[in-house]
Amino acid sequence: MNGCNEILEHENETTAPAGSVGARRLGMERVWLVDDNDRFRSLLVELLNEEGFDCEREFENPDEALAALARETPPDIILLDIQMGEYNGLDAVRPLKAAAKETHVLMLTTFAPREARERAFREGASDFLLKSWTLEEIAAHMRQAMEFGTVAGLMTTVLNGGMSVVEEAVVPKTTPVVAAPVVARRLTIAERWTSYLRGLMKFSPS
């Protein structure tokens, strides 16, 4: 009898619906990406899937994501750009959270002005990420949001001595930099993106 119970428990964990607690236990957080650059979306989806996420949906603007939320099971995480043509991602945070209360909305953008970060957190975003970060940094913040929710970004600020990781990334260093041995590292999202574009140009007709 115990053997049957173990089998049933195993089936419940491996066949749990997407977005359920069982699915999260397996480390497959479901992610939606909202960004107006289709090539960037395709690249980031590929990279995050390699990192162990399930990037199942991508959208060109917030309206498309909101329409999908009305029909589909909300994801665990929504990565949301800010500048999307006529759309401002900051305007979409509150509507997205209203439609999917348990979903963590993380801003993923190129620029990080203080007022944008402050507004993002006021509207309900869990964190504020930069596209220039490494994939490991972005993935770590996504998992941190899953664990700590809307306080994830504030926790990062506290752990960095009152300065957010975003501020640390954009504030010029005023102290001398000591030369360090060169170590191998993975390319940042920005570097992968540049490499991707160069590859497209190489094989495109002149």
Q: Which domains does the chain have, with CATH numbers?
A: 15-166+185-202 (3.40.50.2300)
Global pTM value = 0.68
Q: How far apart are CA 66 and CA 56, in angstroms?
A: 15
List phi, psi (to 5°) of 74. -60, 150
**pLDDT at residue 184, rounded to an integer:** 53
**pLDDT at residue 27, rounded to an integer:** 56
pLDDT of the chain, 206 residues: tens digit per residue: 544 444 344 444 433 444 343 344 345 899 999 999 999 999 999 999 999 999 989 999 999 999 999 999 999 999 999 999 999 999 999 999 999 999 999 999 998 789 999 999 999 999 999 998 888 999 999 999 998 766 555 555 544 444 455 554 444 334 344 444 445 556 666 676 666 555 544 544 33
Exposure string over 102-113, b if 16+ CB within 10 A, otherwise e: ebbbbbbbeebe
